[in-house]
Amino acid sequence: MPPGRVDPIRLALAQVNPRVGDLEGNAAKLTEYVERARDAGAELVLFPELAVTGYPPEDLLLKEHFLRAAEEALRHVAAAAQGIVALVGSPERADDVYNALAVCVEGQVVARYRKSVLPNYGVFDEERYFQAGEGGAVLELDDLRLGLTICEDLWTPGPPASDEALAGAALLVNASASPYHAGKGIRRELMMVQRARDNLCSLAFCNLVGGQDELVFDGHSLLLDHDGEVLARAPQFAETLLVGTVDPQAAITARLRDARLRPPVRRQLPQVTQLGRLPRPERVPPQPGDLGGEVTPLLDEVSEVYAALVLGVRDYVAKNGFSHAVLGLSGGIDSALVLLVAADALGADGVTAVVMPSRYSSEGTQSDARAMAANLGVRCLDIPIAPAMETYEAMLADVFAGREEDLTEENLQARIRGNLLMALSNKFGWLVLTTGNKSENSVGYSTLYGDSAGGFAVIKDVEKTLVYRLVAERARRDPESPVPESIVTRPPSAELRAEQKDSDSLPDYDTLDAILSAYVEDDADREQLELAGLPPAAIDRVFSLVDRAEYKRRQAPPGIKITPRAFGRDRRMPITNGYRPR
Amino acid sequence: MPPGRVDPIRLALAQVNPRVGDLEGNAAKLTEYVERARDAGAELVLFPELAVTGYPPEDLLLKEHFLRAAEEALRHVAAAAQGIVALVGSPERADDVYNALAVCVEGQVVARYRKSVLPNYGVFDEERYFQAGEGGAVLELDDLRLGLTICEDLWTPGPPASDEALAGAALLVNASASPYHAGKGIRRELMMVQRARDNLCSLAFCNLVGGQDELVFDGHSLLLDHDGEVLARAPQFAETLLVGTVDPQAAITARLRDARLRPPVRRQLPQVTQLGRLPRPERVPPQPGDLGGEVTPLLDEVSEVYAALVLGVRDYVAKNGFSHAVLGLSGGIDSALVLLVAADALGADGVTAVVMPSRYSSEGTQSDARAMAANLGVRCLDIPIAPAMETYEAMLADVFAGREEDLTEENLQARIRGNLLMALSNKFGWLVLTTGNKSENSVGYSTLYGDSAGGFAVIKDVEKTLVYRLVAERARRDPESPVPESIVTRPPSAELRAEQKDSDSLPDYDTLDAILSAYVEDDADREQLELAGLPPAAIDRVFSLVDRAEYKRRQAPPGIKITPRAFGRDRRMPITNGYRPR
């Protein structure tokens, strides 16, 4: 360690929301943030993982022309790094492809750190795209040593971070693209706290924010001291430049009294690359009281999910070039939640609701639907589906002669609605939002090309019981709730045949959701569920329904992941599957 | 090397078609093949990779209860290994999960080889599931040394196979689940020939056969001598027990005169695990002339694709519990091909065709469709879609007032057809086959929930130009072709508006397919395509259409992969994607 005192450093975390693949747009955004960071007096600005390309770029990373264009975009950002050091996440095409953090200074890329721990589980496929780097790396800014890490690198308690700390890093930086699920933010923060404490390092964690297909990145960037104290916290679900000051000397001093980072551990030579020594940019020295920065409080657990849904919808719509969404509004709780989210994401002018009563729709549900749209100031169209249903019945009368009514007729009604919404989408360029929840998707309680037809499935990963809590929370925040009370209190029904109730064919939703989260998210077996007190008959029925509905889920639109394990890229099951858990 | 002569060995390759997840069914099938192999006088029977579970089991491998059940199924198969050595592909749950080949003898699993090269590209995600083994392994049957490998292990020219050969293996065995694409079989055979020659080893390659969701495994198992001579070849696309005799002494003798597998290379100690020494089972010694086995000739390149489609349909239908399929028959070439394939896969009784003329359908296409169904002896329903179209137009008249007709009305007609097919599916339990080809899917020339609605997309990976070749080949084999000539000669049209032709909005199919295969399969850029002489305007248009249609493909049903890069698990592109190649 150097003999002199290491000066405090003012740094900026650029919690940005790039668009995957939009290299020019992203470069412009990043450039703007570099300039804002410098204007805010920061010596260093840290960007998220792969900020230049957006995350995850998936198979774009297999295209040489894309990698070339990303490198050009990175150089464009680097050109703006004048009088400030910018650490910018971008792919590196060398002998292989690396997930890298580029050190940009005086207009140039002067060094790169290569991510050394590649996640290849859950939603991650990084072994498909990247070669792993060869361990940690230390960058010196005069006498301040920074340890560089990228996302997963810091999710393991050992190297590369521990090696970097042993090599003298007093400040760890972590560039992340860490996707959201409910409750993950606080667990990640607690982990970061422990990493800071275990390594006796200050820690700067900059996370991506924004929606990308099924993923939402929640931001929640952090500046921690070596004791794990939160010096600054960026808001969840919003773009921000978080600026704060840390005192690395405090970590260096702490190491004298805390033996853990001194011999004998030191005798194991840490595996790190020395990225070189740069002069610290000229800055106004921090003033007394400058330590830390703004600490945004965390959202409660239900508001957090709601915010994730709003951001997910807003970004999917905008990033795919839409400006307006449409949904079928039934008077039930699911479409009510989707309408609330859509109106909050896009504004009341950005949504159209369509009420499409069938012959089984009650007056109550229809008038609730219309009332809710009116309360929100959302335009509401009314298109009864009976004429189309009657026509189909006539067209199929010969072929179906002698057959009873069954699910066929229920599905036809749902598909007529799907057709109408898609016709509106085609004619007016609106994005169709679907309204099915995770409990229904899990057990296949939906109609393919019917209620599941659309561009974005807003609540596909939200279990029914959470749907109720989200609506209640949204109502609580609004003194004049737009949601008619009867939407919340009426027993759930698809209204596709007379007197239909969800509870006719499914366990109650508390039981259903308990079984589902254990089976779908935790891969639990029957014994585990019985031990938890769940009824054996319901367990068997739900397992079987989940397994048999895979073919429907495979054709479902993308939607926002809010649980630890969403259907889709997160849970990859064969359709053709003879396995039946005993 | 042992001083005595190593006796010839009669071995069996069990080219089986398991069903993913159906552990009991698979165990029963494997047991039957063990018994058949012993009855055929084989000392050794080799099964494909993960034969017990089927391949790929995907996230079933993350369930402890599945792994336990697979181990039980393996033990059931092992119990049948009496008087014969069975090498059985099955997952191994130890400290981690391995993709293993179990050595079964005298009713027990006595050793296991763990796959050491895990593919994680294209359709493969093995890093998600498995820990890699630590290199090659040699099993001794008296004085015969076998080198064990699993699939990808042998796709690299070096270890583990080269280490096993250096450790004295005279016979390499390879248990594979190598999926088909057009032309792959012969390239794989040539590679195996080279592996045998490079390692101076006889080689037994046993590949899986059958359809699993989007993949078809083509079988084409092989027995080669150390000079790469094909001693026996199993048929493509059919279950078989291939029995043949090899003389490992020939490889051992060859090594005396060929210095490559002697010092100095030998001085590098090979990294192999010794799996132990078993006595060779009692057998009638091979008789003069017994060397080798049956050599099935290879299919030509078009027949091969046709056979893959037939097997893919037959297995998807049967393995998912269906016994009948239905499709819309338009009188165009695509649905003609799908009907031919379906009739060959399921029999004429196993398919229903539905002619659903619109107001734009010509008399010619309708009568061609009906004639073709009649020629094949397939039941044909006739449901004109005009009544539903008129009803929808009336229902939407107010909302659409003042708007021109556009794609909306074309899509509505396609969706009415989709609804009718799905209603038949729901009422009668038939599987809907869709008829879109890869050229259309690539550029988004299809209607979501319309012609793309269904359970299985038979020709989704077949480019239009190949569709014509497949129909021609099928016609050539049949002296009285069921396909009316005009289906082949009429210019392609969706018949969704007056006088519509595909060539109005797309380049001719030769140009389109050339651009598509370069862009989609080879990740080519604009310069590469221009160099190949393709027109710049068409390149730009096709690139843009392909990129913008990702959202439709994401909701498409599964279908058979027959190219090196199919849409789906093979090419994982973001929907939200701002990248536009320049």
Chain A residues with CB inside 8 Å of B411's CB?
422-423, 426
Q: Which amino acid is at A452?
A: S
- Interface contact A25-B424, CB threshold 8 A: no
The pTM for the full model equals: 0.95
Residue B492: its pLDDT value, please?
84
Class assignment of domain B9-293?
A: alpha beta
Distance of CA A65 to the CA centre of its chain: 28
**Predicted confidence band at B270 (pLDDT cuts at 50, 70, 90)?**
confident
Strand partners, A450: none
Residues whose CB falls within 8 Å of the CB of residue B257, separated by 6 or more in sequence, listed in order: none
* Residue A1 scores a pLDDT above 50: no
Q: Determine the distance in angstroms separating the CA of B494 from the nearest CA of chain A, rounded to an integer.
A: 18
- Interface contact B391-A396, CB threshold 8 A: no
Please tell me the least confidently modeled range out of A522-526, B51-55, B77-81: A522-526
Where does chain A hold its CATH 3.40.50.620 domain(s)? 301-498+550-554
Residue A268: its pLDDT value, please?
66
- Interface contact A20-B64, CB threshold 8 A: no
> Least CB-CB distance to A576: which of B63, B320, B388?
B320
- Tell which of B315, B326, B419 to mutate to test the A interface (max A CBs under 10 Å): B419
Domain spanning A301-498+550-554: CATH 3.20.20.70: no
* Residue B264 scores a pLDDT above 90: no
CB A91 within 8 A of CB A99: yes
Helix (H) or strand (E) holding A146, with range, is strand A144-150
> Least CB-CB distance to A523: which of B25, B63, B400?
B63
Domain spanning B301-502+548-554: CATH 3.30.1280.10: no
* Residue A42 scores a pLDDT above 90: yes
Please provide the average confidence, as pLDDT, over all residues in chain A: 94
Chain A residues with CB inside 8 Å of B448's CB?
422, 453
Please provide the average confidence, as pLDDT, over all residues in chain B: 94
Which residues of B are catalytically annotated? 49, 115, 151
Where does chain B hold its CATH 3.60.110.10 domain(s)? 9-293
Backbone angles phi, psi at A35, to 5 degrees: -70, -40
Which residues of A are catalytically annotated? 49, 115, 151
- For the residues A133-143, what does the mean pLDDT come to? 96
CA–CA separation, A219 vs A207, rounded Å? 5
Q: DSSP string of B46-60?
A: E--TTTTT-S--GGG
- Interface contact B69-A400, CB threshold 8 A: no
CA–CA separation, A28 vs A328, rounded Å? 38
> Least CB-CB distance to A121: which of B128, B211, B399?
B128
**What are the pLDDT digits (tens) for A324-361?**
999 999 999 999 999 999 999 999 999 999 999 998 98
- Interface contact A64-B127, CB threshold 8 A: no
* Residue A189 scores a pLDDT above 70: yes
Residue A494: its pLDDT value, please?
81
- For the residues A163-170, what does the mean pLDDT come to? 93
Chain A residues with CB inside 8 Å of B420's CB?
392, 395-396
Residues whose CB falls within 8 Å of the CB of residue B66, separated by 6 or more in sequence, listed in order: A579, A581, B21, B53, B57, B60
Task: Count how many Cα atoms sit within 13 Å of the Cα of residue B359 in the half-sphere of its side chain.
Answer: 11
Chain B residues with CB inside 8 Å of A320's CB?
551, 575-576
Residue A5: its pLDDT value, please?
87
Please give the interface size between A and B, counted as residue pairs whose CB atoms are below 8 Å apart.
239
CB atoms within 10 A of CB A267: 7
Residues whose CB falls within 8 Å of the CB of residue B436, separated by 6 or more in sequence, listed in order: B334, B446, B451, B452, B457, B459, B460, B556
Residue B82: its pLDDT value, please?
96
Q: What is the DSSP letter of B219?
A: B
CB A410 within 8 A of CB A447: yes
Residue A354: its pLDDT value, please?
98
Residue B1: its pLDDT value, please?
45
**What are the pLDDT digits (tens) for B328-382?**
999 999 999 999 999 999 999 999 999 999 989 888 899 999 999 999 999 999 9
- Interface contact B576-A523, CB threshold 8 A: no
CATH H superfamily, domain A9-289: Carbon-nitrogen hydrolase (3.60.110.10)
B477, two tokens: 């084999």
Residue A3: its pLDDT value, please?
59
Chain B residues with CB inside 8 Å of A449's CB?
415, 418-419, 422, 449, 453
Most confident of A268-282, A480-494, A562-576: A562-576
Task: Count how many Cα atoms sit within 13 Å of the Cα of residue B155 in the half-sphere of its side chain.
Answer: 15
Q: Which amino acid is at A47?
A: F
Q: Determine the distance in angstroms separating the CA of B450 from the nearest CA of chain A, rounded to an integer.
A: 9
**What are the pLDDT digits (tens) for A505-548?**
889 999 999 999 999 999 999 999 999 999 999 999 999 999 99
Backbone angles phi, psi at B274, to 5 degrees: -90, 115
**Which residue's entry shows tokens 């390594």?**
A199
* Residue A266 scores a pLDDT above 70: no
* Residue A165 scores a pLDDT above 90: yes
Residue A491: its pLDDT value, please?
86
- Interface contact A453-B455, CB threshold 8 A: no
Distances (CA, A) of A519 to A514, B63, B216, B495: 9, 10, 30, 47
Percentage, residues of chain A above pLDDT 70: 98
> Least CB-CB distance to A383: which of B59, B390, B395?
B395
With 0-12 / 13-18 / 19 or more C-beta atoms within 10 angstroms meaning exposed / middle / buried, residue A536 is: exposed
Residue A306: its pLDDT value, please?
98
Residue B266: its pLDDT value, please?
56
**What are the pLDDT digits (tens) for B482-536?**
999 999 998 888 888 888 887 788 899 999 999 999 999 999 999 999 999 999 9
Q: Determine the distance in angstroms separating the CA of A336 from the nearest CA of chain B, rounded to an integer.
A: 23
Where does chain B hold its CATH 3.40.50.620 domain(s)? 301-502+548-554
Whether the complex's predicted ipTM surpasses the cut of 0.90: yes
Chain A residues with CB inside 8 Å of B426's CB?
406-408, 411
**Predicted confidence band at B271 (pLDDT cuts at 50, 70, 90)?**
confident
- Interface contact A576-B408, CB threshold 8 A: no
Where does chain A hold its CATH 3.60.110.10 domain(s)? 9-289
Distance of CA A572 to the CA centre of its chain: 18
Helix spans in B377-429 (H): 386-396, 407-428
